[in-house]
Amino acid sequence: MHAVTKLLVVGSTLLSVALAALSIAFSTNADRIRNEYQRVVQESESRIRAAETSSLETQAQLDNALSETTRLELEMNSINETLRLVEADNESLVNEIQLERATAQKVAARIDQIAAMAETQASLIRAMYDEVASLRDNELRYAQKEIQLTDAINDLTVQLEVAVETNRALQEQLVEFQTTRTATAGAGGFDRASSNRSALTARITNVRRDPASNSLLAEIDAGTADSVREGMKLTIVHEGRFAGSLTITNASLNEAVGTIDSFNQNLPIQAGDRVVSPNR
């Protein structure tokens, strides 16, 4: 027990010394601690006031943010409404496009049908054109053949008339010659009447256009002395071929003028062509 007491006493003594040291340290640092405390309190109050101010500003910002959020929500609703309307318009446009496509397909089918009909008509027109061209060519050939045959017939007619007139003239000359042989002495040659009864053969001396009537006129070297009279029909011969018809409109003693009624377009009528009287 004595040892324990000693230990307790020693411990108490040490604690007292430590407490005294702490008391001295506390007394020494008390003012500093107090000042530090007051400073901390002031800083805390300042921070609280700053926090309150910041809280007010934050609240204002929050109110502004809420207002902006409300405005944005309204804009979003408006945008959503606009988007809904646009989607409705888009759907309507899609339906219209589908209708237009269907109409376009119908039009394309109609165009194809019309094109086929046009091609068929074009084929028929080409066939008709070819047939008409063939008929026209055939008609031209037939017309040319008819013209050639007409020219040949006219030439043969003129040659026949010339031959007939020549034969008749020879027969008349033969009769006159026989009559002359049996006539009284001193009657020589043919008289004027017998020569007038021979076939008329004259020459065209001039071809001109009448300025008044625009008719084609021909002058010949035979007149009333050769039994040429007004209204007389004569045949024009060019190089042995029929060239046209001449109707006498004015006759003098040794020359006459007539109108060319018809002529062969393939043969020119010019000075020097023969004129004969058919069926005299």
- Give pLDDT, residue 252: 93
Output the CA torsion sign for 103, 104, 109, 115. Answer: positive
Identify the three-state secondary structure at position 105: helix
Two tokens, residue 106: 């119908």
Two tokens, residue 85: 């309307």
Separation CA 230–CA 205 (nearest Å): 18
DSSP state of 253: S
pLDDT averaged over consecutive 10-residue blocks of the chain (280 residues)?
Answer: 72 76 70 78 82 80 84 87 86 87 87 87 84 83 79 72 62 56 48 49 92 90 92 87 88 93 77 78
Nearest Cα to Cα of residue 236 among 252, 220, 251:
220
- Give pLDDT, residue 280: 46
8 A C-beta contact, residue 269 and residue 237: no
Our CA dihedral for 157, 160, 165, 171, rounded to 10 degrees, sits at -160
Residues 6+ apart with CB under 8 A from 86: none
pTM of the model: 0.35
Q: pLDDT per residue over 214-264, tens digit each?
A: 889 999 999 999 889 999 999 888 887 888 889 999 999 999 999 998 776
- Beta-bridge mates of residue 203: 274
